[in-house]
Amino acid sequence: MIIRQRQMDEIAVTTRKPFIRELEKHVRARYPERTWATSSERVQDDLDFLIQEACRFEITIETDVVRFVDLNYQVGHCFYREENFSWADQILTSNDYSGTEKVDRIFAVIHGFTLDNQR
């Protein structure tokens, strides 16, 4: 049996939807000031985009994706594209770090932690 790319994409979307719904609950509870006036559809579209961005940066472990989303709600949507956060973009696009290490490093800088005591 051959699974075509279109079928793989459909499977990915189907399995991503429940995760997006749970992630929406998370961001609405944690960041009400950023989500209270936003429709569910819009929040879910934003989360889907951020999940795709996380994957683009090879951040694929669920807890790391959640932390990547948190960063975007804490600092600003796609903050890593801003000139004053070019250092974050360098971390995200580096091949020297795993997805977890990328999120850990950015969290450490933003929250003033050292990498040894951030969790």
Nearest residue to 109 via CA among 50, 95, 79, 55:
79
Is 88 within a domain? yes
8 Å CB contact between 64 and 58: no
What does the pLDDT look like over 64-91, one tens digit per residue?
999 999 999 999 999 999 999 999 999 9
What does the pLDDT look like over 86-108, one tens digit per residue?
999 999 999 999 999 999 999 99
pTM for this predicted structure? 0.85
8 Å CB contact between 30 and 73: yes
Nearest residue to 31 via CA among 79, 78, 75, 73:
73
Is 117 within a domain? no
- Domain carrying residue 96: 5-111
5 Cβ partners below 8 Å, 6+ apart?
none
Average pLDDT, the chain: 89
Is 116 within a domain? no
Per-residue pLDDT band at 1 (split at 50, 70, 90): low
Number of structural domains (the chain) is 1
